[in-house]
Amino acid sequence: MLVTTPRYPPQKLLLSRFLTPDRILFFFRNESDRTITELLAGSLIGLDANRVLNAIRVAEPSGPTVLGTSLQVYRGQRAGLDETRATMAISRFGCEYPVNRYLPVHLLILFLAPAGDRFQERAFLRSLNRLFLTEDLTTQLSRRTSPAEALSMIRNAES
């Protein structure tokens, strides 16, 4: 008897599907990535920020996933979570991060999926990789001043 794992159809998970204006934070001065990450975790309403940070540390003990030169993604999984959650920070001047110490990071995305859902996590990372393939969107987002404006720009880039 041949046992196979279920094949999921290719799925493009849009960043804008998980974002709302209250989940996009702006920083107009240089902040540390740790400060920004803690604020991102706290912006996920209904979730304990410490548990979110712990889930990220478990999933990525060596640090966040870096895509391109100025985007880093914090990802994790949490038991009891009924839906995927995401939040984003845009840093106008960038923040320094030891992994990418030569260039400042302008976008930080925190992505939290239900426990055991590796498929959705990977699909989300693939979508981010396509969306931020060039630095153009990152540069344009770092020049925005409002969450609604940034979300609109992301939706346009995804369409």
Question: Does residue 1 lie in a domain region?
Answer: no
Q: What is the DSSP string of 105-158?
A: EEEEEEEEEETT-HHHHHHHHHHHHHHTSSSHHHHHHHT--SHHHHHHHHHHHH
**Residues 16-44 pLDDT 10s:** 988 999 999 998 887 887 888 888 888 88
Question: Does residue 147 lie in a domain region?
Answer: yes
* Contact in structure between 58 and 119 (CB atoms under 8 Å): no
**Which positions of the chain have pLDDT values less than 50?**
1-9
**pTM exceeds 0.85:** no
Split into its structural domains, the chain has a count of 1
User: For residue 133, what are the domain limits?
Assistant: 15-158
Question: Does residue 60 lie in a domain region?
Answer: yes
Question: Does residue 5 lie in a domain region?
Answer: no
- The whole-number pLDDT of residue 138 equals 87
- The whole-number pLDDT of residue 96 equals 67
CATH number of the domain at 80, please.
Answer: 3.40.930.10
Question: Does residue 144 lie in a domain region?
Answer: yes
